[in-house]
């Protein structure tokens, strides 16, 4: 079992930045993928970004590339999501997910991940 705990969400104004963290514990693999998805009210869960632990390759939703950055700290078993230039459209619950080493085409598929965090709320509003 892998436990995932997200942190860093909150209420920010448009244009602000926020960094989310996802700490993994339990039976984590040395070769896994961690990802962020988000779900806005009334919408389906959508892919944000993923990072492969073994080679540090990162993958992004096309619409978010350049504004969001995913990174990892292997020593802390933690993945981060740096979000810049936030807008009200970014308001959602952000979920962290953990799965096996995935190929690029799999990283955006929710079903490819085995474990999920409880989510952290990000609200962008003036």
- At 21, give phi and psi (nearest 5°): -130, 145
As given in the structure block, the two tokens for residue 39 are: 């779900």
Residues 91/122, Cβ–Cβ less than 8 Å: yes
Residues 79/71, Cβ–Cβ less than 8 Å: yes
Residues (pLDDT < 70) of the chain are none
pLDDT in tens, 62-95: 999 999 999 999 999 999 999 999 999 999 999 9
Q: How many CB atoms lie within 10 A of CB 35?
A: 28
């Amino acid at each position: 079992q892998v436990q995932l705990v997200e942190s860093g969400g909150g209420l920010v104004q448009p244009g602000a930045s926020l960094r989310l963290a996802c700490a993994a514990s339990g039976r984590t693999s040395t070769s896994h993928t961690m990802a962020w998805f988000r779900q806005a009210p009334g919408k389906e869960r959508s892919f944000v970004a993923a990072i492969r632990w073994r080679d540090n390759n990162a993958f992004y939703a096309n619409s978010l590339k350049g504004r969001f950055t995913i990174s990892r700290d292997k020593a802390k078993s933690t993945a981060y999501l740096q979000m810049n230039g936030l807008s009200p459209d970014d308001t959602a619950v952000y979920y962290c997910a953990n799965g096996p080493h995935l190929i690029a085409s799999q990283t955006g598929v929710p079903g490819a991940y085995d474990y999920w965090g409880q989510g952290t709320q990000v609200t962008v509003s003036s």
